[in-house]
């Protein structure tokens, strides 16, 4: 596409390159200069006049810095005469701060939405938001895209390679927040069904723990579906429960591999038989982690 130009700062350079190649678009060049007092200057080095600019950038590591650099790049591109600016944020940082959980806390995600609105881009798109309510925080046209099709393709191939009958598969939502994601996967993986893990507190002052009906998972292959793997605690607890309940295999699919320090080793030492994530956050992962490509879902 002659008048299309694709940008990324640091978080999604590989995805940006794939999208540019897919559409025969130019890959934009960016300059980032840091000054002694902590200020930063971000600008396009490519000619964008009368072009449709696409910026692909997750706000994962140092999200506050990335957000500011992103806004400066948007301003540079707009002032340089771009015809339009569309922003893809594959992993939307601060998405887990979408409500007040404790006294005096801010709703950080809503603050971030207001900040991004000041950029006045034509559209913002993201993948698998932590909560649907976040869409209401924006005045800018906003689209939340599911990654379900990537996991559907992955598991159809996995079932075939491992001789698994979909009727022996249950899709597990580790909590009610992942209910919709589980429904979407079950709908596309014909023959499977859904199980939701329940959290209970047996007595006052005791920690919550997960529960499942043993008959729902015994002798089944279980797929835990979630939006984010961070510490891995919830997923590992769910895997332990499913194995104790008689599951013959436990797989996990997660959209965003945040992966806090030490989480990778903990996941690899857990009863999980397979882990698949997207590349919404680009990082090096052990070969045990399988990665599906979100660039396939970016349609321009």
Residues assigned a catalytic role: 199
Residue 137: both structure tokens together: 């925080």
Q: What are phi and psi of 110, to 5 degrees?
A: -70, -35
Strand partners, 250: 222
Residue with tokens 């689209």: 143
- CA 130-67-262 angle, 5° bins: 60
Q: How far apart are CA 215 and CA 200, in angstroms?
A: 19
Both structure tokens of 249: 């295999």
Spatial distance between the Cα atoms of 9 and 28, rounded to a whole number of angstroms: 10
Phi first, then psi, for residue 21 (nearest 5°) are -65, -40
Q: Which H or E run contains 110? A: helix 108-117
């Amino acid at each position: 596409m002659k008048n299309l130009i694709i940008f990324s700062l640091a978080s999604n350079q590989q995805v940006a390159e794939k999208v540019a190649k897919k559409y025969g678009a130019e890959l934009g060049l960016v300059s980032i200069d840091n000054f002694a007092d902590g200020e930063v200057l971000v600008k396009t080095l490519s000619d964008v006049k009368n072009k449709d600019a696409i910026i692909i950038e997750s706000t994962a590591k140092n999200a506050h810095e990335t957000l500011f650099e992103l806004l400066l790049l948007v301003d540079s591109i707009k002032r340089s005469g771009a015809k339009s600016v569309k922003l893809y944020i594959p992993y939307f940082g601060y998405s887990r701060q979408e409500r007040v959980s404790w006294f005096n806390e801010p709703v950080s995600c809503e603050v971030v939405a207001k900040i991004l609105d000041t950029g006045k881009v034509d559209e913002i798109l993201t993948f698998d938001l932590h909560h649907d309510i976040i869409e209401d925080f924006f005045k800018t046209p906003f689209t939340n895209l599911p990654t379900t099709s990537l996991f559907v393709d992955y598991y159809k191939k996995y079932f075939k390679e491992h001789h698994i009958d979909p009727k022996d598969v249950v899709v597990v939502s580790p909590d009610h927040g992942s209910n919709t994601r589980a429904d979407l996967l079950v709908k596309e993986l014909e023959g499977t069904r859904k199980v939701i893990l329940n959290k209970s507190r047996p007595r006052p002052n005791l920690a919550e723990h997960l529960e499942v009906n043993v008959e729902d998972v015994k002798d089944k292959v279980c797929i835990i579906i979630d939006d984010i793997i961070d510490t891995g605690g919830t997923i590992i607890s769910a895997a332990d429960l499913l194995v104790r309940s008689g599951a013959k295999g436990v797989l996990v699919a997660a959209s965003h591999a945040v992966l806090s320090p030490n989480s990778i080793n903990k996941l690899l030492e857990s009863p999980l038989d397979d882990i698949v994530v997207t590349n919404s956050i680009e990082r090096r992962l052990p070969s045990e982690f399988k990665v599906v490509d979100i660039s396939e879902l970016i349609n321009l």
